[in-house]
Structure 1
Amino acid sequence: MDRWQAMKVFAKVAETGSFAETARLMHLSAPAVTRAVASLEDVIGARLFVRTTRSVKLTEAGTRYFEDCRRILSDIAEAEAAAGGSYANPTGTLAVTASALFGQMYVLPIMTEFLNSHPGMRARTLFIDRPVNIVEEGIDVAVRIGHLPDSGFTAIKVGTVRRVICGSPSYFERHGVPTVPADLKSHRIAASTSAWASPEWRFAGDQRVTIDPVLQCNTNEAVIATAKEGWGLTRVLHYQIGPALVEGHLQIVLGDYEEPPLPIHILYPEGRHAPAKVRAFIDLAVARLRENRLLN
């Protein structure tokens, strides 16, 4: 195995933290992965990983070498893409992930607009309410809601979302409007058990209310539909009820007690070395999401 290929193997082990997973992803045998890393350690004269039966971690020398490898491999990929034209012109398949409802409501229209502008492109979406490993699942671009851990990926902030309490005008006419968080104890609650779900609802000033929902649903769409019917109150991210707010089917209450909003970021691994398909999609997505009043 040549030095360049060995560096690719080493970088993948560092990203996945697993020799076996690297072998699977790169379609190599486990011994081939071990030999590739060992050959680099022989050339460098230093251990790159600390290996136990349970974990694979970079050594100090390995951490420095990993940063250099990523830069070198990225430069090589950029040179190859430029020579083949894919760095200048969007080509191939673009893979994008986002949470389920956000992806359906806000990312999918951007994706179809992008495909209309680039007829030769193909796209794949993964709209799901769970954390997605961008590298392992072959994702080019992720749209993430919430504060980001330090990943080394490039992140562009495009908006914010609020956690809001909402109900229908007909519900408030019958049961009154809560004026402080503690009032929620006397209201009928429908709660989602999907992402962001918690029996403890937090508010500004470190106020907390433990909710005992009469109805629990496994999707946000279900609790939103229930609230629109006037059955009770629910808590969701405000983008999820954007159309219902505009149409007057739902109203937000306790707005003065909301926690600080959560950021929305577009996240991608390659930084300035991203291929044309990624850069073109991100340019469009940043513009469309930032101009959306419901997300700012």
Structure 2
Amino acid sequence: MDRIDAMRVFVAAVDEGSLAGAARRMRRSAAAVSRAIAFLEGHVGAALLHRTTRSLHLSEAGERYAIACRRVLTELDEADMLAAGERSAPRGLLTVTAPVAAGENVLGPIVAGFMDAYPEVSVRLNMIDHPVSLIDEGMDLALRISHLADSALVATRVGEVRRVVAASPRYLESHPAIEQPSDLARHAIVAMTHFGLETWSFPPVPGSAVPRTVSFTPRLVVNTIRAAAAAAVEGRGVTRLFSYHIAAELAAGSLKVILDRDEHEPVPVHLIAPPGRLSVPKVRAFADYAVPRLRAHFAQLCPPPLKSL
């Protein structure tokens, strides 16, 4: 049996979460998928998957082997593309990852337009709210909303977002004025994990180097951006999110940004790729298509805070 082909079957099983899913994706029989996995397990001398009637899980050896397989398969695909040179039109499977909200609201429509423009390219958009290793997971590109650590990754800046505090006009009209961060301690807070469940930090006052911290007992704790935004629109309290999370609500007037003179510096947004990956036609085509659209989108999401006007 061809080991490279068996690796593709193994990675498909891991991605789909089942042998039946791998069989559908690879258009093979379940027996053929099982034989490919058994071949690899015999080759490496260890169980790669723990299988039950309903699911499968990677063994410790399987986790390491899956990372290695993704890297090998990605490099092989890149070698094929590079060997074809300029004669090769964008084609094949493009894998992209992004935070959930950015993937649904920002990148998703761009991906749809790209697929219309490049019918020979299929896309797997992996939306998850924590960074993944592009190299270990075999990803082509990622949309990152954070300050990037120094690395070998190739980063193209496409915009920035503000970390804003917001509430509904109805809430603000019926509660004490919020003129400085310390006023928040007297208000109902709608909190979520990524932005602080019990404290929010703010930049130091002029002349100080110590950030300000506001402690609170949240009135409502949620674990999704949509839930936090919806609760704030309903007047349940004050919440903190990125500006792009509530761009529609701000435009509609159902939420209002407060304390904009006390915001942290904006958080940069980048499209990143592993070194060398942009030379692959499908990846280069997507970057060329997505970058100007991402820049246009993030530029219009939310006006700058008052302190920079």
Q: TM-score, normalised by structure 2?
A: 0.68
Q: State the Cα distance separating 1:230 from its structure 2 match.
A: 1.2
Correspondent of 1:213 among 218, 222, 225: 218
Displacement after TM superposition at 1:165 (Å) = 0.5
**1:242 corresponding residue in structure 2:** 247
Q: Cα offset for 1:87?
A: 7.1
Q: Distance in 2 between matches of 1:83 and 1:271?
A: 14
**Residue identity in the other structure for 1:237:** F
Mapping for residues 72-111 of structure 1, pairs under 5 Å = 80-84=80-84, 88-111=88-111
Map 1:1-296 onto structure 2 (within 5 A). 29=43, 80-84=80-84, 88-193=88-193, 195-205=194-204, 206-271=211-276, 274-292=279-297, 293-294=300-301
Indicate how the Cα distance of structure 1 residues 287 and 254 shifts in structure 2: closer, same or farther if over 3 A, else same: same
Cα-to-partner distance string for 1:48-101 (whole Å, 9 max, x where unaligned):
xxxxxxxxxxxxxxxxxxxxxx9xx97x97664244368741100111101011
In 1, the alpha carbon distance for the partners of 2:277 and 2:126 equals 24
AA of the residue aligned to 2:135: V
Conserved 8 A contact 2:78-2:277: no
Q: 1:208 to 1:220 in 2, by over 3 A?
A: same
How far apart, in 2, do the equivalents of 1:109 and 1:77 lie? 26
Deviations 1:104-156 (A, max 9, x none): 11000110010010112111011111221212222110001111122201001
Partners in 1 of 2:269 and 2:142 — Cα distance?
10
- Per-residue deviation, residues 1-34 of structure 1 (Å, max 9, x unmatched): xxxx9xxxxxxxxxxxxxxxxxx9xx68558xxx
Say whether the 8 Å CA contact 1:160–1:263 is kept in structure 2. Answer: yes
| Mapped partners of 2:99, 2:277: distance in 1 | 25
What count of residue pairs does the alignment treat as equivalent?
A: 232
Alpha-carbon distance in 2 for matches of 1:233, 1:178: 10
> TM-score, structure 1 length as denominator?
0.71
Q: Which consecutive segments of 4 or more residues in structure 1 shift more than 4 A?
A: 27-31, 76-79
SS at match of 1:294: coil
For 2:229 and 2:188, the matched residues in 1 are separated by 14
The answer for unaligned runs of 5 or more in structure 2 is: 5-36, 46-70, 205-210, 304-309
Q: How much identity, in percent, do the aligned residues show?
A: 39
Is residue 95–residue 124 contact of structure 2 (8 Å, CA) maintained in 1?
yes
CA distance in 1, matches of 2:213, 2:87: 50
Letter in 1 for 2:219: V
In structure 2, what residue type is equivalent to 1:289?
A: L
Structure 1 gap ranges (5+): 6-23, 32-69
- CA displacement 1:228-254 (0-9 Å, x = unmatched): 011211001111000111111100000
Check 1:197–1:281 CA distance in 2 against 1; reply closer, same or farther (3 A cut). farther
Q: Which amino acid aligns with 1:131?
A: P
Instruction: Give the equivalent residue in structure 1 for 2:306.
Output: none
Q: Secondary structure at the match of 2:174?
A: helix
Q: How many Å apart are 1:192 and its aligned residue?
A: 1.0
- Provide the aligned C-alpha RMSD in A: 2.7
SS of residue paired to 1:267: strand
Q: Is the 8 A contact 2:247 2:302 kept in 1?
A: no
Write the letter of the residue equivalent to 2:154: T
Is contact 1:153–1:267 with CA below 8 Å preserved after alignment? yes
In structure 2, relative to structure 1, the CA distance for the partners of 1:124 and 1:295 (3 Å cut) is farther
